[in-house]
Each structure stands twice: as structure tokens, then as C-alpha cells.
Amino acid sequence: MLCKDTLNQSLPMYRIQSLLILLVLLFVSACQESSVEDAAKLITEQSLLEPIEVLSSDEFEGRAPATRGEVLTLNYIIEQFQSIGIEPGMEDGSFLQEFPLLGQQVDGQSARFNIRHNGNVVDELEYRTEFMAWPSNEAEQVQIENAEVVYVGYGIQAPEFDWDDYKGADVEGKILVYKNSDPSYDPDIFEGDSRLYYGRWSYKFEKAEEMGALGAIIIHTTPTAGYGWSIVENSWGRERFALQSEDNGNGPVPEFNSWLTSESSESLFSYAGMDLHEQLDAAASRDFEPVTLNGVTIDVNLSATYSDMASNNVVGKITGSDPDLQNEYMIFSAHHDHLGITNPVDGDSINNGALDNAAGVSAVLNVANALKNVESKMKRSALFVLVGAEEMGLLGSQYWAANPTVHPGKVTANLNLDGMQVYGLSNDVVLVGYGRNTITDVIKKYAEEEGRVVKPDPEPGQGYFYRSDHFSFAKIGIPAIFPNRGRDYVGKSEAEIAAIDSANAANYHAPSDKINEFWDLEGMEKDTRLFFRSAFHIINADEMMKWEENDEFEAARLQYLRELE
């Protein structure tokens, strides 16, 4: 477990070049507070490159939580905050918000998932290749025999769309089978092709717990998941991490969560005399009702071991100058962790995470420095929350959301930077969450002044809004946006763009995520300046940002605002 008292013992020596740049910035800041445009000009290709080079170096060992690499990362970020003049953001006067983690490793050799028909075992599925499963309540052992199975379609309850897949059925103590994703045939419900949280696997598991189910199974198909089975196998087959609960293995049902391959799911339904694909199609109807798989029961046996550790969020702030508004905040977030040291690929085992997400951390540090230079012009305050354990499932931001350092109703907006435009100038910028809240209007205003176009997520079916840290802030009602790189490159041929896209895909979560020949930070400089100008506007706006009417997070926003009345 990391200890605040030990962090500075590992403080590394950085290059003279880094210190000279920092001293220049401090000298400029000390001599005269900048105008907004002068402050924006402090964001340069070199000032953006420097933190990326440091954080993605082999010395930082891939920045995995609870490792030497994380200690180096925390020290570096705190050093940068202090040099800029950022105040500690925690009540105890520190920069660190420590949070406990629980690691879980399932014994794949002993894992069993048997399908019974009329009491007899008719199929014994293979762990990894046919099913993935794990205890969902921190238990060391799960032993289930002859459990009844009910197919609940998408398993969605969404009163705003007049949608209820359960229809009052008693599913307590049963194993529930879910179709992944959400209905996409009608643009007037579930936003058509855009995947809402209702379509995420995490919603299905949360719903199973709410309904008192014994276990939950998600049917995997590549179209409904957006990725192949290998992603499921690799993601859930290694040690998994979660925020520690107080249940200690005696928590509520369900006892296990799982995925089945489409082939295994076909077998499961066939033993009940049902066609899987007909049932998947039936789930798209508002009139769907839960279906018991008659004659079919399931045995599940799982063993798991656990490990305790901790990670940290780094929290800093700049206090606004308006006595009436300085207790309201804009949050800038980015995750500082990556995958650490894993199995070698072509002899390289360090996952440096240059784009994911040293780039995002660098952008936040640069925005912080620019804002510090216009501090007296800021009405509201700025909160910089650089979170840990994002790669483990947004755990650092989840912890902040459960233990916020400021009241969520006092936060006007969250700008989350996870990956940046490192491949050159583009005429466009993509916003994941486009049009969902009034942040979009602000960024569009400043982009249009530059002759640029703001576009929505080009792949809405992938549900990216629910896959980075802004989602944790949105769940507690904070209007949030997640900028992505544009695709309309300036001066690049179709062949060059194809090569960039291919390299970008190949480097994702791989040791090859490093600064490479495709990088050109002119685009990152332009985007970061755009986000700074937009953020300065939001910090000084007459009103706080808000969700559009009937957005799925509007109710949470209104709830937290009512708490302040």
C-alpha cells in the first residue's frame, strides 16, 4: 500500500531542459499576469511534449497502480502542481486522495459451468474459450447447483421510454440471461444507434443485483458488444480490480457474473427448445416478457483469491476570485495510470502509455498553468483531478464520485482528457457527449471562431461516453464532456490517414504506445488552447452548465442541486 510519507523518497531527477522550461514559465507568470490570449500561448508543442516524455519513459514502468511507477507518477504530478502554484485540493492540505483496491484472481483450472437438462449434465463449458465468470460479492467460493434460468432480453427498465423488460416477473434467486446493448431500431427511444448506459454490460450486472438475482449471464456477440470474444477473455481472465467494499464476501446477491460465447448461448437455449437468434430478435419489442428456459438449470463452481492494495488520485485547485462564485468549480480530469509491465511483445514488456494517457495528463497540466496566469480573472474555481486506476474500470474517478472533495451540485462542468490529437492539425474536433449538455455550445463557439467544426462521436454504438472517467462525474449529475481527436486532417493524404489509424489501433493498450514517427503535436497544441479558452468561458459564465432536458443524467443533477437549497 502506498503511503504519503514515502512518496518523496522516490523523487527522480529530471532533465535540465525540463527545469529550464519550468523556470521560464514561472518567471513569465511572476512578472505579469497574462491576458487570456497570452495565457493560451503558453500552451506550446514543447510544453505539451515535455510531460509526455517524462511520464511515458521506461523509468516510469507503465504507471500501473500500487507500483514504483505510480509513486514516480504521483511525485511528478505533485511537483508540477507545486511549480505552477496549484493549491492542494484535499481538506488535509495534501494533494493525494488514496483509495483502497481489491484484486481478484479466479482459478481457471477449477472453474466449472455446467448446463443441465431435466437434471442431467448435458454440457460442460470450458473456461476462457466458452465462458468467463467470477464471484461478484468478494466471495472466495461460489457453489451453485440446479439453478433456474430466465432470459430477460435487454434487462432494461427505462420508464422515460416506457420500457420494462421484467413486466413484474419474480426473478429473485434465479440466474438471469441478458442480451447485450440496447434497442437501436427507433431514433426516438434509446437515441437510436447511440448506446446509452442501458446498453452497457455494467448496467446489466447492476440490474441483476437490484432484482435479487442469483447470477447474471451476458450473451456475447461481436455486433452487440462491439468487440470480439478475445477482449472478453483477456479483460476478465486476468486479475481484476474493484474498489473495496465492506461486505468481505458476505455481500448481496448475485453470487456471480459471467459472459457466454454466442455458440455456448445457442446450446443453452437449444436445450430449452428455443432458438437463440429468435429470442435475441424478440428482445427488441417493447412487449417482450421474461422467458424461463424450461427444463434447463445451471451449475457454477468458482474459486477466487484476493489481494489488498491502494492507488491515489491527485487533486489540486485554483481558487476563483469572485466571493459569490469561488465555491463553484470546474473539474479537469485525466487518468494518470496505465497498464504497467506485462508479457513482452517483440521483447518489450513496458506499456508506456504515451497517448493513453500521458498526453491527457500533459494537457491538464498545461491548462492548469494557463489558468494560473489568469487567476485573478477567474470567477469560479478550478479543480484538477488526475485519477488512478482508470484502466481497472474507472476506479479512481468512481472513488472521487463516491467521496467528492466538493459538493457535486457546486460543480459547473467536467472536461475529461483521455488521449489527445497527437497526429497533426485537424479542421474538426470530436466531442463524445456532443449535444447532451451546454458544454457543447461553448466549445462550438470557440471552435467556430477558429474556423473549425465540432462533430459528434462517429461511432455512437460503441458507447464511448460510458468508457472514460467523465462518466463517473456524469453519474453524480455533473455536466461532462469527453473530447476526442478529429479526423479531418490538414495536409494529409488518405494513405497517410490510413497509416495513422492503423498505427493508433495497433498501439492501443500495447507496449508500442510510445511517441512515434506519426506524432505531430501541432494539433494537440491547437486543441488544448481551444479547451483552455472554452474552460475559461465556462468558469466565468453567468450560469452553471446543465444537461439538456430529459438527458439520462439530468435527474441526478437536479437531485444534487436540490440538496443545496
SS3 408: helix
What pLDDT is stored for residue 462 in this prediction? Answer: 84
The grid coordinates listed for 254 are 448475485
Q: Which of 255, 267, 258 is nearest to 144 (CA)?
A: 255
Burial code (b: 16+ CB inside 10 Å, e: under 16) for 88-107 equals bbbeeeebbbbbebbbbebe
Residue 426 is classified by DSSP as B
pLDDT above 70 as % of the chain:
93
pLDDT surpasses 50 at 314: yes
Distances in Å between the alpha carbon of 378 and those of 190, 193, 435, 437? 38, 39, 26, 22
Over the stretch 514-526, which tens digit does the pLDDT of each residue have?
Answer: 999 999 999 999 9
pLDDT surpasses 60 at 228: yes
Bridge partners (DSSP) of residue 99 are 311
What pLDDT is stored for residue 540 in this prediction? Answer: 98
Q: Which of 406, 410, 403, 382 is nearest to 557 (CA)?
A: 410
Angle between helical axes of 45-55 and 68-84 (0-180°, round to 10): 150
Bridge partners (DSSP) of residue 415 are 332, 481
CATH T-level assignment (fold) for domain 4-101+310-563: Aminopeptidase (3.40.630)
Overall CATH class of domain 104-306: alpha beta
The Cα–Cα gap between 265 and 260 comes to 6
pLDDT surpasses 60 at 288: yes
Close Cβ partners of 462 (under 8 Å, ≥ 6 residues apart): 195, 226
SS3 259: strand
Question: Where in the chain do CATH 3.40.630.10 domains reside?
Answer: 4-101+310-563
The Cα–Cα gap between 458 and 438 comes to 20
Q: Which of 470, 445, 437 is nearest to 551 (CA)?
A: 437
The Cα–Cα gap between 563 and 407 comes to 9
Close Cβ partners of 534 (under 8 Å, ≥ 6 residues apart): 415, 439, 442, 443, 445, 446
The Cα–Cα gap between 421 and 492 comes to 14
Q: Which of 234, 105, 516 is nearest to 348 (CA)?
A: 516
The Cα–Cα gap between 428 and 455 comes to 7
The beta-strand segments (E) located in 401-558 are: 411-416, 428-432, 453-456, 480-484
Give yes or no for a contact between 182 and 190, defined as CB atoms under 8 angstroms apart: yes
Give yes or no for a contact between 118 and 271, defined as CB atoms under 8 angstroms apart: no
pLDDT surpasses 70 at 15: no
Query: pLDDT-based confidence at 147, cuts 50/70/90?
Result: very high
Query: pLDDT-based confidence at 2, cuts 50/70/90?
Result: very low
What pLDDT is stored for residue 245 in this prediction? Answer: 76
Give yes or no for a contact between 423 and 526, defined as CB atoms under 8 angstroms apart: no
Q: Give me the helices (H) in 96-254, please.
A: 201-210, 222-225, 229-237
Over the stretch 87-104, which tens digit does the pLDDT of each residue have?
Answer: 999 999 999 999 999 999
First-to-final CA distance of the chain: 40
The Cα–Cα gap between 426 and 503 comes to 18
Polymer length in residues for the chain: 565
Over the stretch 399-457, which tens digit does the pLDDT of each residue have?
Answer: 999 999 999 999 999 999 999 999 999 999 999 999 999 999 999 999 999 999 999 99
Over the stretch 26-76, which tens digit does the pLDDT of each residue have?
Answer: 444 444 567 999 999 999 999 999 999 999 999 999 999 999 999 999 999
Over the stretch 329-363, which tens digit does the pLDDT of each residue have?
Answer: 999 999 999 999 988 999 999 999 999 999 999 99
Angle at CA 552, nearest 5°, toward 469 and 291? 105
Q: Give me the helices (H) in 373-459, please.
A: 395-402, 439-449
The grid coordinates listed for 536 are 475559461
Q: Tell me which H or E stretch contains 264.
A: helix 262-270
> Pairing state of beta strands 141-151 and 291-318?
antiparallel
Residue 321 is classified by DSSP as S
Bridge partners (DSSP) of residue 143 are 301
Number of Cβ within 10 Å of residue 269's Cβ equals 22
Q: Which of 401, 312, 309 is nearest to 76 (CA)?
A: 312
Question: Where in the chain do CATH 3.50.30.30 domains reside?
Answer: 104-306
Tell me, rounded to whole angstroms, the distance of Cα 132 from its chain centroid: 22
Query: Based on the number of CB atoms within 10 Å of its own CB, is 517 exposed (0-12), middle (13-18) or buried (19 or more)?
Result: exposed
Query: Based on the number of CB atoms within 10 Å of its own CB, is 314 exposed (0-12), middle (13-18) or buried (19 or more)?
Result: buried
What pLDDT is stored for residue 460 in this prediction? Answer: 87
